[in-house]
Amino acid sequence: MKPKYYLPLAAGIISVAVIMAGCVKQPLDTAPVGNYTTQNFWRDQTDVLAGIAGIYNIMFQEDGVGHGNYVFEDQSDDISVDGDHADYWRIESFNPLASDYQIRTTWIFAYEQIARANNAIIYVPQVPVMDEAIRNRSLGEAYFLRAHAYYTLQTIYGEVPLILEENVLNGEYNQPKKTEEEVRVQIEADLLKAADLLPETYGGEDKGRVHKGAAWALLTKLYMTWEKLDKAQEYGQKVITNANYALAPEYSDNFIVDKQINNSEILFGIWSKDGFGSAVANIYFTNRAWGGWGFHHPTQNFVDAFEAGDTKRKEATVLAVGDSIPNQNQMIEISDKDAYQMFAGKEGQLTGRMLPSQSPTGYSIRKYTGFKADGSGLDFSIKQPLLRTADIYLLVAEAKIRTSGPGAGDAEINVVRKRAGLGEISGATFTDLVHERRVELGGENVRHFDLLRWDKKQLVNLDTIVNKPKAASPLQPYNGTVIVPARTFTRPKNYYQPIPQSIVDQSKGIITQNPNY
């Protein structure tokens, strides 16, 4: 199959495989592969299943939702970026350039996801003979995945072009940006169609496909961003009252390979499987001493946010000096630099524990790290949750508090707290809600986008948050060092990222740059 690769301009051709390997540094230079065209590919049910798999495969790209889009979460106070990418540092400091690599690739992979979904929406109804239940399900998946891509684009860039079926059929890819309202209307329409077409659950090898609960959940998040709090409550309730989407018994079950397969709480995620490519988050979040690349690290600011008794969530979220993970057997020699406090007197010894010198903050994200049971290395069967039921419980609670006042969201907040092993609270305020979302969803690419939507409504003041330096662990050799100095948030500029300059240039004036860039 050769769907058009547009940015959103018609630009080139890229082939679909069951697994897309590596990151596309020069996507427009990709040579055509195979003999299929978009028009002659969609012949039967086998082709439909392969075509839908091709949409999901975008999720495996390291520069998209698997890792790259988490760089925008590094703008929050919870996480700090590491590595050798200057564009990541600029994004974290609210000084991105329209020419930055990550600004471009986030756009590219979202529109590639849209391109593949558009092809399915156009051609799946034309397949002459196939199981009608699978036809409907496949269309539902395509509508959801298109909506998800547009939700990502709208959240990060604000106003963006809409490329829909009629544009593909007419070859009209060079489209101007639509208003945020227009984009949200399109996302809503796609998700409502998806919810109608998708089943509530799956069994067997179909687990991991999006279902009604995923569509309802993304609608809930859309309506909260859209400030349609009544609609957010309506669709959020569909999720949290449905036993098919119940919370996992234990918080950590969401991030342990053996507990993820039958986990009803993971509404939508990246379902990697060891031996069939890699789990991108496992590589990018795992500490370098353990074979990962360690790009995103919790700050002391975030660690301090956990209540004293909130050990279940804290231990499942954050790795600190001396912590270990089951099946992590790689031994590392302790150097003189590392031998202090709990390592004192152990110079030259080997340990499987995380060494503090491997993280600039003294902490690592625990959620996406898993090792094979035989101790042979990272387990690429770990799933990366993108939507969880707990998120929806707390969004319903937020909508209730903001419409009916303190205490209105107690029931939903306390369901989440009880699972964490914490006592109930009463009369929960918006401030309490902010706290619960921070510690429940830490490291899951939620915090910064929460802060942005709250700041727009003057519910929080982002100035007071980003003006606090990001600090490291108080342990030696960190000693509370400032990792990222106080930053300046500029309104309205920093509500959104710049449009990639290459896209603006290619459009020849049709697509305009975001204000102040």
Residue ending a domain, among 358, 385, 412, is 385
In what helix (H) or strand (E) does residue 109 lie, and over which residues does it extend?
helix 101-123
Q: Which two tokens stand for residue 409?
A: 């969201």
Is 444 found in the same domain as 486?
yes
Quote the pLDDT of residue 339: 61
Cite the DSSP H helix spans in 124-256: 132-157, 165-170, 180-197, 212-225, 229-240
Does residue 258 fall inside a structural domain?
Answer: no
187 and 147: one domain?
Answer: yes
Among candidates 65, 70, 44, 66, which has minimal Cα distance to 124? 44
b/e burial code for range 299-331 (CB count within 10 A of at least 16 → b): bbbbbebbeeebeebbebbbbbbeeebebbeee
Tokens 């700041």, residue located = 455
Question: Of the residues 350, 368, 385, which one is the last residue of a structural domain?
Answer: 385
pLDDT at 13 over 50: no
Are residues 395 and 381 part of one domain?
A: no
Q: Whole-number mean pLDDT of the chain?
A: 90
pTM: 0.91
Say if 201 falls within a structural domain.
Answer: yes
**Both tokens assigned to 438:** 């921070």
What confidence category does residue 475 fall into, taking pLDDT thresholds of 50, 70 and 90?
Answer: confident
The tokens of 397 are what? Answer: 């609670």
Same domain, 410 and 450: yes
Rounded-to-integer distance, Cα 365 and Cα 484, Å:
18
Same domain, 53 and 141: yes
Is residue 374 packed enough to be buried (19+ CB in 10 Å), middle (13-18) or exposed (0-12)? exposed
512 located within any domain:
no
Task: Output the 3-class SS for 373-425.
Answer: CCCCCECCCCCEEEEEHHHHHHHHHHHHHHHHCCCCCHHHHHHHHHHCCCCCC
Same domain, residue pair 346 and 403? no
Looking at the fold, whether 402 and 490 belong to one and the same domain comes out as yes
Indicate which CATH number applies to the domain containing 95: 1.25.40.390
How far is Cα 355 from Cα 339, in angstroms, rounded to an integer?
Answer: 9
User: What is the maximum alpha-carbon separation in the chain?
Assistant: 73
pLDDT (tens digit, 9 = 90+) per residue, 334-371? 777 666 666 777 788 887 777 766 788 999 999 999 99
Q: Are residues 158 and 193 in the same domain?
A: yes
Structure tokens given for 146: 């298109």
Position 514 in a domain: no
- Same domain, yes or no: 465 and 373: no
Instruction: Clarify whether residues 397 and 381 are in a common domain.
Output: no
Q: Report if residue 121 sits inside a domain.
A: yes
Among the listed residues 90, 147, 154, the one whose alpha carbon sits nearest the alpha carbon of residue 118: 147
In a domain, 257, yes or no: no
Which of the listed residues 385, 418, 450 is the one where a domain comes to its end? 385
How many domains in the chain? 3
Contacts of 371 (CB under 8 A, 6+ apart): 290, 325, 326, 327, 328, 329, 377, 378, 379
Residue numbers of the domain that contains 18: 4-75+84-243
pLDDT confidence of residue 358: 75
Name the β-bridge partners of 387: 268
For 223-273, the pLDDT digits (tens) are 999 999 999 999 999 999 999 999 999 999 999 999 999 999 999 999 998
256 in any annotated domain? no
Amino acid at residue number 60: F
Quick check: is 16 in a domain? yes
Asked if pLDDT for residue 29 goes beyond 50, the answer is: no
Q: Are both 238 and 332 inside the same structural domain?
A: no
The secondary structure of residue 153, as a DSSP letter, is H
Q: Are residues 400 and 425 in the same domain?
A: yes
